[in-house]
């Protein structure tokens, strides 16, 4: 615009000179010539005034929008205000003031499994499995946040996370109150999402030392956070899929963790948890979980936990110890659950326990995805993603697990060694290989006595 006005002014000046010359050529009177020059001069002055006004406007810098309350990395402007944040690999919609956000979340886990070496030929199974497909939404508005997520797995569809939360202050500390169907805060693996732990499956502590309602339940939860610790307490009923034909179980749960050492190069984790549950009269099913010691696909390679008739209450407790440093990690967990069977002859008090220890090392490209805020596994951040020309992140891992139900009538025991490798293509995608050498010793069920074998599990997952 500035240059076009200058050209226009120059053209007007040339027109003035030409007019004067033409006027002289036509022998105009002095009075007529004077009027012509005055008219052209007025036009030039008007154009110059307009040019100065526009140049003055352009000299004033455009106002810069205030930064939102939360940092929006790699964000692009939305079509109607707000921004789209791509820093997590998938779009998150963030308001102009940063106080509200919304994004779609989900996962898809596809497994291939093959078992061999068992003395029972029908235990040597191979096949594929879509372990889990989830889709849902997550968002926040000011101090409030929400999450709702549905899952298709094991030939059924169910709701998983479906809760709201509000952040607040408690005793001068950051805290959050949550209400709805949510994951238990119980052990390192038990409070972590399956796609975030280093192995195909949660360890046997998370899988067996668990309330009757399982890993999810409709609960009221309060969590308080310090600089290097957290404590959570919850009152929980059955999960959202309860049929409503009986009383809910009622579980009171507490967990805390502490990081006595918390640095960029190394973090030490100490934790403990426990729960007490009251079960409806006549509860016999779902009280005991059967660990699939070779992996989720093979329903025949499992440890039979025995049988109870009428458990009316139970209580459990566990401890956690771990270290997360530079490229490596190591952690162990132990848990025990005590049950009272009101219909049993004699004592009626039983227990079962489990423990696990695992370790891993990133050869390159990432660090352990441990969350010091919650004391659980979070997403692994890949430094050089494959789709940006990098090699991704490569992780070596190993684990030993042991579960023991022999105090229960007909209960067995089992153990496994696992070695494997994970290849993280980026923050969202991972390819896994686990080789499991397992052993079972069942006292009841189809496969009685000692048996051992191996299972090879592979997985491709996307988790966003």
CB 419 within 8 A of CB 404: no
Give the number of other CB atoms < 10 A from CB of residue 440: 28
The chain-wide mean pLDDT, for the chain, equals: 86
Q: How confident is the model at residue 82 (pLDDT cuts 50, 70, 90)?
A: confident
Average pLDDT of the segment spanning 14-36: 45
DSSP-based three-state secondary structure for 53: helix
Q: With CA atoms as reference, report the closest residue to 325 among 264, 376, 277, 386.
A: 264
Higher pLDDT pick, 154 / 8: 154
What whole-number distance in Å separates Cα of residue 327 and Cα of residue 322? 14
Q: How confident is the model at residue 145 (pLDDT cuts 50, 70, 90)?
A: very high
Find residue 320's DSSP bridge partners.
Answer: 271, 333
What whole-number distance in Å separates Cα of residue 112 and Cα of residue 174? 43
Contact partners, residue 39, CB within 8 Å, separation at least 6: none
Question: Which of 98-107, 204-213, 278-287, 332-341 shows the lowest per-residue confidence on average (mean pLDDT)?
Answer: 278-287
Helix (H) or strand (E) holding 341: strand 328-341
For residue 271, is it left (φ>0), alpha (ψ between -120 and 50) or beta?
Answer: beta
The residue assigned the tokens 């016999």 is 284
pLDDT, residue 245, reads 66
pLDDT, residue 20, reads 39
Strands (E), 142-240: 144-153, 156-170, 173-183, 216-225, 229-236
Question: What DSSP letter does each residue of 209-230 carry, written as one string?
Answer: S--TT-SEEEEEEEEEE-SSEE
Average pLDDT of the segment spanning 144-171: 94
* Cα 434 from chain centroid (whole Å): 22
Is the per-residue pLDDT at 5 higher than 50? no
Q: What is the pLDDT of residues 85-122, one digit of tens each?
A: 887 777 899 998 889 999 999 999 999 999 999 999 99
Q: How confident is the model at residue 281 (pLDDT cuts 50, 70, 90)?
A: confident
CB 431 within 8 A of CB 319: no
Find residue 262's DSSP bridge partners.
Answer: 267
CB 334 within 8 A of CB 353: yes
The residue assigned the tokens 């499994």 is 113
What whole-number distance in Å separates Cα of residue 285 and Cα of residue 245? 14
CB 279 within 8 A of CB 318: no
Topology at the third CATH level for domain 99-463: Porin (2.40.160)
Higher pLDDT pick, 68 / 201: 201
Is the per-residue pLDDT at 26 higher than 60? no
pTM given for the model:
0.81
Enumerate the domain spans of the chain: 2-59, 99-463
For residue 409, is it left (φ>0), alpha (ψ between -120 and 50) or beta?
Answer: beta
Q: What is the pLDDT of residues 391-444, one digit of tens each?
A: 999 999 999 999 999 999 999 999 999 999 999 999 999 999 999 999 999 999
pLDDT, residue 344, reads 77
Contact partners, residue 67, CB within 8 Å, separation at least 6: 98
pLDDT, residue 325, reads 93
What whole-number distance in Å separates Cα of residue 177 and Cα of residue 167? 7
pLDDT, residue 46, reads 59
Higher pLDDT pick, 43 / 436: 436
What whole-number distance in Å separates Cα of residue 434 and Cα of residue 353? 24
What are the helix (H) ranges across 123-275?
204-208
What whole-number distance in Å separates Cα of residue 424 and Cα of residue 420? 13
What whole-number distance in Å separates Cα of residue 338 and Cα of residue 311? 10
- Report percent pLDDT > 70 for the chain: 81
Which tokens belong to 74?
């790699």
Q: How confident is the model at residue 248 (pLDDT cuts 50, 70, 90)?
A: confident
- Report percent pLDDT > 90 for the chain: 72
Find residue 321's DSSP bridge partners.
Answer: 270, 332
pLDDT, residue 75, reads 47
CB 123 within 8 A of CB 301: yes
Higher pLDDT pick, 38 / 325: 325
The β-bridge relationship of strands 349-364 and 328-341 is antiparallel
Per-residue b/e over 253-285, b at no fewer than 16 CB within 10 Å?
Answer: bbbbbbbeeeeeeebbbbbebbbbbebeeebee
What whole-number distance in Å separates Cα of residue 221 and Cα of residue 237? 12
């Amino acid at each position: 615009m500035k240059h076009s006005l200058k050209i226009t002014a120059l053209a007007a000046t040339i027109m003035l000179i030409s007019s004067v010359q033409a006027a002289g050529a036509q022998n105009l009177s002095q009075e007529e010539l004077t009027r012509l020059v005055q008219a052209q001069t007025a036009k030039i002055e008007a154009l110059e005034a307009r040019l100065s006004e526009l140049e003055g406007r352009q000299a004033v810098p455009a106002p810069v929008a205030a930064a939102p309350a939360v940092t929006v990395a790699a964000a692009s402007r939305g079509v109607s205000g707000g921004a789209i944040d791509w820093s997590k690999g998938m779009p998150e919609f963030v308001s102009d003031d940063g106080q509200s956000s919304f994004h779609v979340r989900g996962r898809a886990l596809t497994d291939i499994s093959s078992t061999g070496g068992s003395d029972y030929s029908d235990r040597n199974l191979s096949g594929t499995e879509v372990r889990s497909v989830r889709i849902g939404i997550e968002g926040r508005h000011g101090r409030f946040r929400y999450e709702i997520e549905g899952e298709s797995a094991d030939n059924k569809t169910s709701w998983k996370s479906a809760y709201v939360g509000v952040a607040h202050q408690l005793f001068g500390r950051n805290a959050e109150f949550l209400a709805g169907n949510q994951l238990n805060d119980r052990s390192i693996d038990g409070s972590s999402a399956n796609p975030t732990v280093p192995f195909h499956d949660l360890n046997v502590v998370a899988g067996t030392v668990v309330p009757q309602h399982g890993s999810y339940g409709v609960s009221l939860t309060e969590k308080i956070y310090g600089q290097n610790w957290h404590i959570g307490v919850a009152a929980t009923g059955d999960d959202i899929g309860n049929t409503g034909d009986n009383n809910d179980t009622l579980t009171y749960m507490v967990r805390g963790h502490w990081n006595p050492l918390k640095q960029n190069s190394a973090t030490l984790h100490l934790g403990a948890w426990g729960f007490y549950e009251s079960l409806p009269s006549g509860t016999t099913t779902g009280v005991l979980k059967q660990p699939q010691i070779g992996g989720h696909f093979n329903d025949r390679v499992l440890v039979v936990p025995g049988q109870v008739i009428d458990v009316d209450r139970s209580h459990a407790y566990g401890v956690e110890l771990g270290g997360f440093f530079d490229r490596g990690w190591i952690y162990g967990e132990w848990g025990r659950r005590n049950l009272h069977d009101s219909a049993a002859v004699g004592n009626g008090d039983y227990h079962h326990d489990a423990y696990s220890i695992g370790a891993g090392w990133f050869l390159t490209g990432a660090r352990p995805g441990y969350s010091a805020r919650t004391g659980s596994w979070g997403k692994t951040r890949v430094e050089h993603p494959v789709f940006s020309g990098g090699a991704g992140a490569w992780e070596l891992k190993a684990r030993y697990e042991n579960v023991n139900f022999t105090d229960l009538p007909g209960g067995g025991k089992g153990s496994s060694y696992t070695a494997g490798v994970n290849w993280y293509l980026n923050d969202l995608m991972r390819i896994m290989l686990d080789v499991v050498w397992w052993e079972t010793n069942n006292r009841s069920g189809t496969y009685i006595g000692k048996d051992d074998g191996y299972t090879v599990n592979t997985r491709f997952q996307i988790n966003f």
